[in-house]
């Protein structure tokens, strides 16, 4: 009955809303069925769904709001409360919800939580027998990791000393030993350097059975194991450093919650292999797995990937990407986005292009002229793209593979190597595809060309997987006058 009612309401909703995703009726019935049957459900949507899938989720929730928890990122919360609910108000349906953890709602209200709230509610035992819904679940790991992260500043070290004066000399000795090691290894102005977890273990041993007065330090001491990574960010201006502790597999920390509750997960990119591997490692399975949508229904991306391009580790690669970027930019009358995650390479290329195109070239700023050129990381573009007009083109001088210079990435790779698993195919490549797809998602169908200047697209066997992930696309064999 829920499926039928949701189907009728969605058809009525579309009488007043023209933005129609052709698979929304199917999505509504799938979600209705999963809610009523309490199935563990995984639905992968094609990227042309964009934000058109929201009614397919919200209408069943309005009709069946029984012990439902909707977990949203900050971006999704803005979309829900600023856009989607106002559209829904004309359909005579009530989205009856409670937001946040200040009040535990009754069973018949939808509970909307951030990822931080989710962790708190789980620790307090508030989520038993509730159905959990994760839209955009491919970003679960990164959202949870950010919420679980621990940051220890120089002030926190001072607080620890003042609250344990009898151990003052020993605590200072540990801090100074870590400082000497960090600055001896630092090769950049504001370096990021991994720290052995045993350093925190030594500090914990010094305090013996005394419980730290600070909850922050208590949390830090509970992470002294191989499932967390510890690293420091140096500030050479103040000769100080901040300590960061992050979980390698945050999903596994919540494995009890995920195993004991019914889950409904949606993916908007269709490439979430690393998240699924994390779930599978805990023997978690879905009753229903569906891929919804057809890639052929999407507008193809104009893709410029010349053959016989040099590899990034060759001497002529840098001059190659400079020349190609200059050719691609020449004559363009709208914005160009150049995406490079490597900071040193990005700054070098920004400087080089500024010498050619002057003040048109900027670095990670939304204050831009009409035909400006923005050099930025993929993450910066993903976060700030809604503040910018549609660009003429996206240029990827290098495929955005996660760097092993990152302590977190290096620790994940080490863990997979230790387990005898294929760390590149199971982790680095899926993460790369998610970054690429998220970077191009907003420009699909807007006649924005994408250029990839990395020879590995043709010279590495996994390059074809990148081509497949970007489908549909049409080849640009040569650059034509604008």
In the prediction, which pLDDT does 384 show? 92
**pLDDT bracket for residue 451 (50, 70, 90):** very high
List the single range of 145-159, 193-207, 284-298 with lowest mean pLDDT.
284-298
Each residue of 213-237: pLDDT tens digit? Answer: 788 998 898 887 778 999 999 887 7
- On average, the pLDDT of the chain sits at 88
- Is the pLDDT higher at 427 or at 92? 427
* Number of residues assigned to the chain: 482
Q: Which residue has the higher pLDDT, 294 or 320?
A: 320
- 482 pLDDT band (50/70/90 cuts)? very low
What pLDDT sits at residue 3?
85
Mean pLDDT over 107-134 rounds to 92
Percent of the chain with pLDDT over 90: 54
pTM, two decimals, is 0.86
pLDDT higher than threshold 90 for residue 185: no
At the second CATH level, the architecture of 2-147+250-296 is 3-Layer(aba) Sandwich (3.40)
pLDDT for position 144: 93
Q: pLDDT by residue (tens digit) across 15-68?
A: 766 556 788 888 999 999 999 999 999 998 877 777 888 989 999 999 887 899
> Can you give the pLDDT at residue 104?
80
In this structure, whether the domain defined by 299-475 belongs to CATH 3.30.460.80 is answered with no
**Cα distance between residue 73 and residue 143, in whole Å:** 7
Q: pLDDT value at position 445?
A: 80
Paired with 231 in beta bridges are: 194, 244
């Amino acid at each position: 009955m829920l499926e039928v009612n949701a189907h009728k309401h969605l058809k009525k909703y579309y009488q007043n809303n023209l933005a129609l995703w052709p698979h929304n009726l199917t999505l509504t019935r799938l979600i209705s069925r999963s809610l009523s049957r309490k199935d563990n459900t995984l639905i992968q949507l094609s990227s042309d769904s964009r934000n058109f899938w929201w009614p397919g989720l919200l209408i069943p929730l309005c009709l069946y709001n029984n012990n439902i928890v909707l977990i949203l990122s900050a971006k999704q919360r803005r979309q829900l409360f600023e856009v989607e609910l106002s559209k829904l108000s004309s359909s005579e349906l009530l989205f009856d919800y409670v937001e946040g953890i200040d009040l535990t709602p009754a069973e018949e209200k939808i509970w909307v939580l951030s990822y931080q709230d989710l962790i708190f509610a789980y620790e307090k035992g508030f989520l038993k027998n509730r159905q959990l819904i994760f839209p955009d679940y491919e970003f679960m790991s990164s959202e949870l990791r950010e919420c679980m992260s621990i940051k220890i500043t120089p002030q926190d070290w001072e607080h620890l000393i003042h609250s344990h004066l009898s151990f003052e000399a020993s605590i200072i000795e540990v801090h100074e030993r870590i400082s000497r090691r960090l600055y001896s290894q630092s090769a950049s102005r504001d370096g990021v350097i991994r720290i052995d977890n045993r350093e925190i273990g030594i500090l914990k041993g010094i305090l013996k059975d005394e419980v730290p007065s600070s909850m922050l330090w208590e949390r830090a001491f509970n992470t002294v194991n191989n499932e967390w990574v510890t690293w420091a960010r140096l500030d050479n201006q103040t000769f100080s450093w901040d300590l960061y502790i992050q979980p390698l597999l945050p999903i596994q920390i919540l494995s009890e919650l995920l195993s004991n509750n019914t889950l409904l997960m949606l993916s908007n990119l269709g490439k979430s292999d690393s998240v699924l591997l994390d779930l599978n490692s805990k023997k978690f399975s879905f009753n229903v797995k569906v891929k919804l949508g057809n890639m052929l229904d999407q507008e193809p991306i104009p893709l410029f990937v010349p053959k016989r391009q040099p590899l990034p580790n060759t001497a002529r690669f840098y001059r190659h990407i400079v020349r190609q970027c200059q050719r691609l930019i020449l004559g363009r009358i709208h914005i160009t986005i150049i995406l490079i995650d490597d900071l040193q390479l990005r700054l070098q290329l920004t400087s080089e292009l500024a010498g050619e195109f002057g003040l048109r070239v900027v670095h990670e700023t939304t204050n831009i002229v009409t035909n400006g050129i923005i050099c930025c990381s993929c993450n910066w573009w993903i976060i700030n793209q809604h503040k910018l007009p549609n660009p003429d083109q996206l240029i990827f001088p290098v495929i955005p593979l996660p760097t092993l210079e990152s302590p977190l990435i290096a620790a994940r790779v080490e863990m997979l190597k230790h387990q005898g698993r294929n760390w590149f195919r199971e982790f680095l490549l899926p993460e790369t595809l998610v970054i690429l797809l998220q970077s191009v998602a907003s420009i699909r169908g807007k006649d924005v060309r994408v250029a990839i200047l990395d020879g590995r697209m043709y010279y590495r066997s996994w390059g074809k997987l990148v081509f497949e992930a970007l489908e549909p696309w049409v080849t640009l064999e040569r650059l034509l006058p604008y």
